[in-house]
Amino acid sequence: MTDREGPGGRRASGGRAGGRRRLAGVLAVAALAVGAVAFALRAGDAPSRIPVVAPQARAPAGATATGPEAPPPRAGTATDPVRVAAVGDVMMGSTDHGLPPDGGAGTFAAVAGLLEGDLVLGNLEGPLTEASGSKCGPESSGCFAFRTPPAYAAHLAAAGFDVMNLANNHAYDFGPEGLADTLAALRDADIAATGTVGAVAAEKVGSTLVATIGFAPYVWADSLLDLDVVRDRVAAAASRADIVIVTMHAGAEGADARHVRPGEETYLGESRGDVIAFARAAIDAGADLVVGHGPHVLRGMEFHRDRLIAYSLGNFVGYRAFSLSGSLSMSAVLQVRLAPDGRFLDGRLRPARLVGEGRPAPGGGAIAAVRALSEDDFGARAARIAPDGAIRPPGRSRP
């Protein structure tokens, strides 16, 4: 999520195999009552203009009767488990800061074997656009705006990505035109987007319907600062889908932000949310997996109500964009298998690192780092991570 101002052809084997069927790639429901979210088959004729910035919608009082003590009922017809692979921040190169000499074609070549799942999720750090007029004025300093050519969406698709989150601080670097271009480029590449106000990305994996919702502390995203909105959004999705994945762009940034602590986090005077309260509220409302990014470093993992929370997966790609010293170059792919009702079955952390000018490669010290951070920050609630990266809940013995 950060910029330099801070510290910081494989589709048959990737997320697009296994009978996955795309449902309403982006469900714009900001203007609808939360309880009326509908999941419809994607018709392939999405409107060319999508209202992506709107006042933060709140559910009317009494719109949902569910809450933390009574997670919403699921659809109940799913029989297929779902393999999820998730990564953190993805910035493949910027027109203004440098593009790779191969046009981005080799960005994910070294990690092709890690991005495998029925649903592969990443956080797109910056718009896919050729628009002009960035958020940074001509005389500004310490301000960074990213834009990647729309054609680079094909590289995301070839790598296996199914859903990209746009709830982050760079999604609006080139305003509404840049964001609309991004949505169009992802749609043309058959990649669903989530993270704009009221948007839900829906995927069908066999008989199992998976909903993904992105949150961030910005007006173009569903706000993670308002836990009532969080609960409403998640509960509405959980009442329709079998599995709900929540992705959050939250928390302080940089090498000093590796630890998760209770209470509000800030960066450069901006509120970045209470990540513990947010993640646990999302699970209380019906989320089955919470995936974080934004701090640009790996953070620990915990279990809440037997659901996994990965507080930050760090940088995954940051071509000539992110600081890559020390822990800022450490990355990972989170692989999780969920039961049709969302229960955690098993998982694994696959280590990666950013090399050269910011492309991912396998290896590095992610497993030991996340294990130590988890134990330090969450104690008895910490995810148990074995030397091979296998993840299990506390209290569950290894197979």
Does a structural domain hold residue 178? yes
pTM of the model: 0.85
Q: Name 397's Cβ contacts closer than 8 Å, sequence gap at least 6.
A: none
The 8-class DSSP code of residue 157 comes to H
Residue 398: its pLDDT value, please?
Answer: 65
Measured CA angle at 360 (ends 96, 154), to 5 deg: 60
Per-residue pLDDT of the chain (399 residues; tens, 9 = 90+): 444 333 333 333 345 544 455 554 333 333 222 332 333 222 222 222 222 333 233 332 222 223 333 344 565 678 999 999 999 999 999 998 899 999 999 999 999 999 999 999 999 999 999 999 888 877 677 788 899 999 999 999 999 999 999 999 999 999 999 999 999 999 999 999 999 999 999 999 999 999 999 999 999 999 999 999 999 999 999 999 999 999 999 999 999 999 999 999 999 999 999 999 999 999 999 999 999 999 999 999 999 999 999 999 999 999 998 878 889 999 999 999 999 999 999 999 999 999 999 999 999 999 999 999 999 999 999 999 999 999 999 988 665
**Tokens 């910011």, located at residue:** 358
C-alpha dist (Å) from residue 396 to 324, 344, 388: 36, 11, 17
Per the structure, the complete domain to which residue 197 belongs is given by: 20-34+67-132+146-392
The answer to whether residue 316 is domain-embedded is yes
214 assigned to some structural domain: yes
The secondary structure of 113-156 as a DSSP string is TT--SSEEEEEE-S-B------SS-TT-SS-----B-GGGHHHH
Q: Report the run of H or E that residue 183 belongs to, with start and end.
A: helix 175-188
Nearest to 130 by CA among 177, 73, 162: 177
Q: Give CA 285 to chain center in angstroms.
A: 18
Report yes or no on 310 lying in a domain.
yes
Whether 181 is covered by a domain: the verdict is yes
- Phi then psi for 336, rounded to 5 degrees? -135, 140
Domain membership of residue 345 (yes or no) is: yes
Domain count, the chain: 1
Q: What are phi and psi of 89, to 5 degrees?
A: -75, 135
Residues 398, 390 contacting (CB under 8 angstroms): yes
Is 150 part of any domain?
Answer: yes
Structure tokens at 254: 């940089």
Please indicate, yes or no, if residue 399 is contained in any of the structural domains.
Answer: no
Q: Give yes or no for a contact between 319 and 98, defined as CB atoms under 8 angstroms apart.
A: yes
CATH number of the domain that residue 295 is part of: 3.60.21.10
CA 295 to chain centre: 13
